[in-house]
Amino acid sequence: MQNSSVDKFNYKIQFTTSTVYFLFSFLLLTSIGCQKDTGITYNEADRTIQITDNINIDNGVRDKKPIFNFTNYEKFLSYVSKSDHFLIVPLKNFKNTNSDNKVVLSVRYDVDDDIDAAVKMAYRSRKYGIVSTFFILHTATYYSKKVGEELIRNPNLIFYLKKIQDSFGQEIGLHNDLVTLQLMYGIAPRQYLKNELAYLRGNGINVWGTSYHGSPYCYIYKYYNAYFWYEYPDNGWNYEYITKGYKTIKIEKDSLSSYNFSYEAGFLGQDYYFADSNSIKGKRWNMGMVNLDTIKPGKKVIILLHPEHWDY
Ligand SMILES: [Zn+2]
C-alpha cells in the first residue's frame, strides 16, 4: 500500500501545487483508511522476518484482542527485563540456577499450532535480551503431515527453528505428544523419538529438554503424554493401559536419559507456575493477573505461554 501511494504521488507531482496538496491530503487519508482496515501496525524495524527465500513472516502487530495482544506481551517483556527483581534463564538452566537476591524466572512457550507467532515472540524476546524456551510439537501441522500411515516432516521446519535458535538466540525443546502418537497414529513412539531427535540435532538444533502436550485426545482417553516417561509418577488416570474401542493398549515408556534429555519441563520443581492454558474464575490466565514483584527473592517461577493466544 505504501509503495503504490508513493508511485501515485510521484506521477502527479507535475501538476499545480494546490493539486499536489489536495492529492497529498487525499493519499494521507486513504493510507490511514487502509491501516484501519487491516488493523496492522509496524512498530518494528523488521517489517518481515525471512525464513527462506520464499517464506517471509509479516512481523506486524494486530492487537485485535483486548488482553492477549503483543502490546501487553511486550509490556511484560519490558518489565521483567528491566527489573532488578528477576534472573531470567532458559529452561535448560532452570534447575541449576539459584539466587539469594532475585526471583529465578523462565518463560516457556508451547508452540501448539502457530509457528509464525512463535517466531515473532522469539524476535521480541531477543529484542528485550531474554532467552526463553520454545517447545515444538511433533504432531502439529507446521511440523509434519500424515500421509498414509506415515508422518512426513515439513522440509522448511528446520529453517523456522534456526531462525528461533540461531538468529534470535532462544532454546528449542520438543513438545511431547508421544502417547497420542502410539494411541491414535499407531506409531511406535520410542523409535520415532530417536529418529526425530537425530534429525533435529543432526541439523544443528540443540534439543536439551521436553515438555508434555495436553492433546484433546488426553481428555477423551484419560492419559498424560508424560506417561511416556518412567520418571513421571502414576497420578491416577490410565498410567499403564488405555482402552480404545475393543483394544487395550499398553503405553510404551522410556527414560529421559535414553534420549539425552536433561529435563522435562513439568518436573522442574518450581515454586510458582503460571500458564495461559489455565483458567481463573472462567478467564484465561494472563500476566496482568499476578504481581510478580510480590514474589520473594530466592523463589523460582515458570510462566507458560502459547503463541497462538497472543498474536491476533
Ligand atoms: Zn501443548
C-alpha of residue 138 to centroid of ligand 1, in Å: 10
- CA 39–ligand 1 middle distance (angstroms): 29
**Ligand 1 center to 24 CA (angstroms):** 49
Residues 190-214 have pLDDT tens digits of 999 999 999 999 999 999 999 999 9
Nearest to 138 by CA among 71, 186, 195, 96: 195
User: For residue 107, how far is its CA from the centre of ligand 1 (angstroms)?
Assistant: 15
Per-residue pLDDT at 283:
95
Map out the domains of the chain as residue ranges.
Answer: 2-38, 65-310
Q: How far is the CA of 67 from the centre of ligand 1 (A)?
A: 21
Extract the residue ranges of the chain whose pLDDT is less than 50. Answer: 1-17, 19-24, 26-37
Q: How far is the CA of 140 from the centre of ligand 1 (A)?
A: 10
What is the rounded distance in angstroms from the CA atom of residue 227 to the CA atom of residue 63? 38
Q: How far is ligand 1, taken at its centre, from the CA of residue 18, in Å? A: 59
CATH code for the part of the protein at 65-310: 3.20.20
Q: How much distance in Å is there from the Cα of 102 to the middle of ligand 1?
A: 29
Cα of 37 vs centre of ligand 1, distance in Å, is 33
What confidence score (pLDDT) does residue 19 get?
Answer: 47
Q: What is the 3-state secondary structure (H, E, C) of the chain?
A: CHHHHHHHHHHHCCCCHHHHHHHHHHHHHHHHHHHHHHCCECCCCCCEEECCCCCEEECCECCCCCCCCHHHHHHHHHHHHHCCCEEECCHHHCCCCCCCCCEEEEEEEEECCCHHHHHHHHHHHHHCCCCCEEEEECCCCCCEEEECCEEEECCCHHHHHHHHHHHCCCEEEEEECHHHHHHHHCCCHHHHHHHHHHHHHHCCCCEEEEEECCCHHHHHHCCCHHHHECCCCCCCCCCCEEEECCEEEECCCECHHHHCCCEEHHHCCCCEEEECCCEECCEECCHHHCCHHHCCCCCEEEEEECHHHHCC
Q: How far is CA 281 from CA 30, 210, 285, 289, 309, in A?
A: 44, 30, 9, 11, 18
pLDDT of residue 249: 97
pLDDT value for 217: 96
Q: How far is the CA of 26 from the centre of ligand 1 (A)?
A: 48
C-alpha 161 – ligand 1 centre gap (Å): 17
52 CA → ligand 1 middle, Å: 26
This prediction's pTM: 0.87
pLDDT at 2: 38
